[in-house]
Chains A and B, each alone.
Chain A
Amino acid sequence: MSPRLMLVTAGRVLRQVRHDRRTLALLIVVPCVLMGLLAWIYADTPVFDSIGAPLLGMFPFLVMFLVTSIATLRERQSGTLERLLTLPLAKADLVGGYAIAFGALATVQALVAGTFAVYALGLDVAGQDWLLIVVAVVDALLGTALGLFLSAFAATEFQAVQFLPAFVLPQFLLCGLLVPRDRLPDVLHWASDVLPLSYAVDAMRTITVDASAGADVAKDVAVILGFVLVLVGLGAATLRRRTD
């Protein structure tokens, strides 16, 4: 493993995105538009203030999951992955490079969406505003890590795109947004305990209702970061130099 090669790889991935202006614009603008739409739907009701924060965590997660899945799949299909695997690049350098590059994009995206939600849309939570943004960044990182790991199992674009309904929507159903997790049937409650998105929504809910819940939020953030590390590690471990 070489930090230099990891950074060089991250630089290359960011350069690719920079050449794709429309993707860059979509990455930054879409979560803001969705938050704006949400605020508009619930105008003159208190609902936006109660579900705005959890969804602020959800949108960057979804977008980064998709973008990362497709980017790594493209690397594999273009033959560049096969070339890289014959070169002195550790698997961790490649996966780490992707994680750094998309992590940086995710950070910008979550910062912009969070700032927009709080200052332009007036999202009002009990806890500190900056905590919202921190959790949104961590959620976006989680999307990147999940995309990096799962795309290893997608052989085609069709499969990669369907991993969203297959692996992300169940987490959305169980994360406590539709029915609070403690009111789910036991089996589903246990399942939701091991799904990372549950912790993202828990953290955002805590910030929404509790003015002094820094410690609880920190615990959730630590769990999510743990998932990120494990998923990135698994992503590197499941990459095979030799294929059929």
Chain B
Amino acid sequence: MLKNPPVGQPAIRVEGLRVVRGGRTVIPGLSLEVPHGQVVGLLGPSGCGKSTLMRSIVGVQKVAGGVVEVLGLPAGTEPLRHRIGYLTQAPSVYTDLTVRENLAYFAAVVGTPRSGIAHEVTWVVDMVDLGSHVDASVGALSGGQLSRVSLAAALVGAPDVLVLDEPTVGLDPVLRRDLWAIFRRLAADGATLLVSSHVMDEAVRCDRLLLMREGEFLADDTLAGVLASTGAADAEQAFLALVDQARDRAAAGGTTTSEVSS
């Protein structure tokens, strides 16, 4: 499944991204590079701009400025639509169809040939462990099962880049562990994953962390690096320490921390 990533070119490149929503600047200027095969955790409280950044990367967000490229192409352009999988925060599948009907439709849309659709559906259904519910109506499933159907829909066609907005929120610990195992497997096969969460303890599962607050990155490092630089015991304390540092800096210098990785 590894699709020969071009050497030296990042899977995701964001430079100087600025997003204004309803007259309010949600992202003042973000830059980011994600190499192929990495699992990057985008962590931060609700409303910090995680979803807006993800929507910009998949190309459905109006942006006010900056560059967003995926696999070397401008975000949202036609050739990328076969190669990117997007999981919206709220489950986005058809509740009046069965699991199979949903996934077969999305498989057809991403270009799976008619003869391969049944196989593709079985593959993703097994991956999210919904084999026993494949002919159940999605509206009759539990909340956790519903999010897994939505995740499965993002996985059809084995996209090179997966942008997953809070895929594990509200799921039980066993299921969360299983999903992270899937994400690791996909990355091992060459996929690049950007996974958001507002639960800081998911940090341990990622190759790299982006701690985000008010549209800016407070940190961009491995978990070990973040812990070492803050002296904190876990990701949550590290995040709080970084928020305090940023506040102190702002109070001392009268400037904000908008110069992120330039």
Interface residues, chain A, with chain B CB atoms under 8 Å away: 4-5, 8-9, 12, 15-16, 19-20, 78-80, 82-89, 241-244
- Does A78 contact B95, Cβ atoms closer than 8 Å? yes
B61 at the interface (CB under 8 A from A): yes
Q: Across the interface, name the chain A residue whose C-beta is closest to B107.
A: A8
Query: With A8-B105, A83-B153, A88-B81 known to touch, is A242 a contact of B62 (CB < 8 Å)?
Result: yes
- Bound complex: CA A69 to CA B94 (Å): 17
Size band of the B side of the interface? 20 to 34
Interface residues, chain B, with chain A CB atoms under 8 Å away: 21-22, 58-63, 76, 78, 81-82, 84, 86, 88, 90-97, 101, 105-106, 108-111, 137, 153-154
Would you call the interface of chain A mostly helix, strand, loop, or mixed? Answer: helix
22 contacts between A and B (CB under 8 A): A4-B108, A8-B108, A8-B109, A9-B109, A12-B97, A20-B96, A78-B95, A79-B88, A79-B92, A82-B88, A82-B92, A83-B88, A83-B106, A83-B153, A88-B81, A88-B110, A241-B60, A242-B61, A242-B62, A243-B60, A244-B61, A244-B62
Q: Which residues of A contact B111 (CB under 8 A)?
A: 88
How far is the CB of B217 from the nearest CB of chain A, in Å? 23
Q: Which residues of A contact B82 (CB under 8 A)?
A: 88
How far is the CB of B30 from the nearest CB of chain A, in Å? 17
Query: With A15-B97, A244-B21 known to touch, is A82 a contact of B60 (CB < 8 Å)?
Result: yes
How far is the CB of B110 from the nearest CB of chain A, in Å? 6
- Bound complex: CA A237 to CA B239 (Å): 44
Query: With A5-B109, A242-B61 known to touch, is A78 a contact of B153 (CB < 8 Å)?
Result: no
- Bound complex: CA A8 to CA B117 (Å): 12
- Bound complex: CA A12 to CA B93 (Å): 12
Give 6 nearest A-B pairs by CB, closest first.
Answer: A79-B92, A88-B81, A8-B108, A12-B105, A79-B88, A86-B86
- Bound complex: CA A137 to CA B62 (Å): 40
Choose among B59, B86, B91, B97 the residue that contacts A19 (Cβ–Cβ < 8 A): B97
- Does B61 contact A79, Cβ atoms closer than 8 Å? no
- Bound complex: CA A85 to CA B106 (Å): 12
How far is the CB of A91 from the nearest CB of chain B, in Å? 12
Q: Across the interface, name the chain B residue whose C-beta is closest to A80.
A: B92
- Bound complex: CA A19 to CA B90 (Å): 23
A-B contact count (CB 8 A): 78
Q: Across the interface, name the chain B residue whose C-beta is closest to A12.
A: B105
Choose among B78, B91, B108, B109 the residue that contacts A79 (Cβ–Cβ < 8 A): B91
Q: Which residues of B contact A19 (CB under 8 A)?
A: 96-97, 137
- Does A242 contact B108, Cβ atoms closer than 8 Å? no
Q: Which residues of B contact A15 (CB under 8 A)?
A: 97, 101
How far is the CB of A18 from the nearest CB of chain B, in Å? 9
Q: Which residues of B contact A79 (CB under 8 A)?
A: 88, 90-92
- Bound complex: CA A82 to CA B92 (Å): 8
Q: Which residues of B contact A8 (CB under 8 A)?
A: 105, 108-109
- Does A86 contact B58, Cβ atoms closer than 8 Å? yes
Query: With A85-B60, A86-B81, A241-B76 known to touch, is A80 a contact of B94 (CB < 8 Å)?
Result: yes
Q: Which residues of B contact A87 (CB under 8 A)?
A: 81, 106, 109-110
- Of B63, B81, B88, B109, the most chain A CB neighbours within 10 A belong to B109
How far is the CB of A122 from the nearest CB of chain B, in Å? 39
- Bound complex: CA A88 to CA B109 (Å): 6
Q: Across the interface, name the chain A residue whose C-beta is closest to B90.
A: A79
How far is the CB of A149 from the nearest CB of chain B, in Å? 21
How far is the CB of A155 from the nearest CB of chain B, in Å? 13
Q: Which residues of B contact A83 (CB under 8 A)?
A: 86, 88, 92, 106, 153-154
- Does B61 contact A243, Cβ atoms closer than 8 Å? yes
- Does B78 contact A88, Cβ atoms closer than 8 Å? yes
- Does A244 contact B22, Cβ atoms closer than 8 Å? yes
How far is the CB of B51 from the nearest CB of chain A, in Å? 11
Q: Which residues of A contact B63 (CB under 8 A)?
A: 242
Q: Which residues of A contact B92 (CB under 8 A)?
A: 78-80, 82-83
Q: Across the interface, name the chain A residue whose C-beta is closest to B93.
A: A80
Q: Across the interface, name the chain A residue whose C-beta is closest to B156.
A: A87
Q: Which residues of A contact B137 (CB under 8 A)?
A: 19
Query: A8-B105, A83-B154 known; 5 other A-B pairs, CB under 8 Å?
Result: A5-B108, A8-B108, A12-B105, A83-B106, A244-B62
